Amino acid sequence: MQSRRLYVPLRKASRLHHFSQRGLQRKSSDDADSGNTVEGRLDLYDSSQRQITDLIVPSRSEHLDLTIAPYLPSKTRLEDNTPPNDKLPPGHHFVYFPTSSSELDTLQDGYEKHFAPSWPYRRRLWVTGQLKFHGDGLTFGCLAACRERLTKVRRGEKGTNIWIERAMYNENDGPTKWSVIERRCLRYIHDLSSISPPDDTTAAPVRDKSTLNNTNQPLRHTFVPSQILLTRFSYLTYNFHRIHIDHEYATKIEGYPGTLMHGSLSIVLLLTAFRNHYYLPDKRIYTVTYSMYRPLYVDRPATLTLEPAQKGNTRGVLWDDGNKKAVECYINTKVDISNDEVPASLYILLRCIFLIDLRNLPSLFIFYSRIRRQVLPYPF
């Protein structure tokens, strides 16, 4: 039997080629999203993307408030804060979306294997990170999801840096309408002999030797973190890294003088102090960028300061008992356009500027002058 050939018209053949190329591009983009194209991923126990679903219950956020309240400045304690609403406060996402699911998935230091290097290391450090808040935020009483993926791996002589991105959103809104994006960098130290002094993590990318001066910051508060604080926060966040809760392990295995405060706890304290001290109804926290320079230890005094910084930011710092910078973050705020105190006519003007040709500006201002004293519903 004579074989039959299948002839495809040139136009259809070009379409088939176009769709095949689109399929290849879609596949490669999916691989990139899952972290499969990240160089160095083969040296990790597990580099795959994962999604964690959690119910945003108010009680867990309230327990976090109760845990940190004794360590906040007296005149900005939580009972003096603004009335609570149905949205999760900035930084409280740390007590949701637990990643450590089983003891079988943890390593000797008590932390999880996911995104951890498969070769031996001496210390695991939280180096730097960024938080970005968008939209209305995570809603109490609703299911929310957290998509976590590997973004970068960089291995050096002294340690390996691993960057992780976590995107959180209400499940009703979908992943495109994210509420919180967190980027963090963890450093895995190969050799402790490269660290000097022994109790210094040299965690931050740039060493900083600045000390706490005697100038009057708008907010300055000294507190002493207790082991009860660290233990309660570990249980709330489901983080059983032994350097926070096991004195013997922290001192004899990793060589610290005592158990350490969590990096995430440091950020929560700074954000809560800012939220209670600088609260403005027409602003919300937009981005937070932070760096960890050296550890804060249990039963040793630490000082929290807040002061204005450049470009309208607020600089928050936690200082150790030697008045050296331990944790530094820059908090950026922006006007909340959903606030009812902003005149409705201003919303209409802004809306028209984007929708109407610039040549119509004279008539636009006439229109604005006529409605500026009226109370109109917001057009968006």
Q: Within this chain, do residues 366 and 250 fall inside the same structural domain, yes or no?
A: no
Residues in the chain: 380
Provide the CA 134 distance to its chain's centre, in angstroms: 12
pLDDT for 100: 75
Q: Which domain holds residue 150?
A: 41-335
Q: Which residues contact 148 (CB under 8 A, 6 or more apart)?
A: 49, 50, 51, 52, 99, 164, 165, 166
Given a cut of 90, whether residue 150 has pLDDT beyond it is yes
Q: How far apart are CA 380 and CA 378, in angstroms?
A: 5
More confident position, 344 or 90: 90
If DSSP states are collapsed to H, E and C, what string results for 46-73? CCCCEEEEEECCHHHHHHHHHHHHHHCC
* pLDDT range class, residue 379, cuts 50, 70, 90: very low
23 within domain boundaries: no
Please report where in the chains the tokens 């984007």 appear, as a residue: 354
Same domain membership, residue 368 and residue 253? no
In this structure, the answer to whether residues 45 and 148 fall within a common structural domain is yes
pLDDT at position 91 is: 94
Q: Would residue 219 count as lying in a domain?
A: yes
Domain match, 331 and 365 both:
no
**If pLDDT is split at 50, 70 and 90, which confidence band does 4 have?**
very low
Task: Report the pLDDT value the prediction gives residue 157, as an integer from 0 to 100.
Answer: 79
> According to the model, what pLDDT value does residue 352 have?
56
Please write the tens of the pLDDT for every residue from 153-203.
998 878 899 999 999 999 988 888 899 999 999 999 987 765 554 445 444
The 10s digit of each residue's pLDDT in 88-136 is 999 999 999 988 778 888 888 889 888 998 888 889 999 999 999 988 8
- Check residue 15 and give its pLDDT: 41
362, 223: one domain: no
Q: Specify whether 214 is located in the same domain as 322.
A: yes
Q: How much is the mean pLDDT over the chain?
A: 78
The answer to whether residue 62 sits within a structural domain is yes
How many angstroms separate the CA atoms of 51 and 193, rounded?
Answer: 38
Task: Evaluate whether residue 220 is within a structural domain.
Answer: yes
| C-alpha distances in Å from residue 311, one per residue of 121, 284, 318, 333, 342 | 40, 16, 21, 10, 23
CATH number at residue 185: 3.10.129.10
Is residue 257, in this structure, part of any structural domain at all? Answer: yes
Q: How many degrees, rounded to 5, is the angle at CA 94 between CA 106 and CA 189? A: 45
Model pLDDT, residue 33: 44
Kindly give, in sequence order, each residue whose CB lies less than 8 Å from that of residue 195, ignoring residues fewer than 6 positions away: 189, 201, 202
Of all residues in the chain, what percent carry a pLDDT higher than 70? 67
Which residues fall within 8 angstroms of residue 171, CB to CB, at 6 or more apart?
53, 142, 143, 144, 145
Gap between the Cα atoms of 330 and 279, Å rounded: 16
- Rounded distance, CA 21 to CA 3, Å? 29
CA 288 to the chain's CA centroid: 8
Whether residues 222 and 358 share a domain: the answer is no
| Higher per-residue confidence, 342 vs 297 | 297
* Confidence at residue 192, expressed as pLDDT on a 0 to 100 scale: 73
CB-based contact 375:343 (threshold 8 Å): no
Kindly state whether residue 291 falls inside one of the protein's structural domains.
yes
Q: Is residue 279 part of a domain?
A: yes
Both 246 and 371 in a single domain?
no
Provide the domain count of the chain.
Answer: 2
Percent of the chain with pLDDT over 90: 47
CA 268/CA 21 separation, integer angstroms: 46
Q: Which of 288, 352, 345 is nearest to 131 (CA)?
A: 288
Q: Are residues 258 and 113 in the same domain?
A: yes
Query: Would 28 be classed as within a structural domain?
Result: no
Examine the domain organization and report whether 65 and 170 are in the same domain: yes
**How much is the pLDDT for 125?**
92
Predicted pLDDT at 372 = 45
User: Average pLDDT of 338-364?
Assistant: 55
Q: Are residues 286 and 347 in the same domain?
A: no
Task: Kindly indicate the confidence band of residue 75, based on its pLDDT and cuts at 50, 70 and 90.
Answer: low
Judged against a pLDDT cut of 60, whether residue 22 lies above it is answered with no
- Dihedral (Cα; 330, 336, 341, 347), 10-degree rounding: 140
Whether 263 and 360 map to the same domain: the answer is no
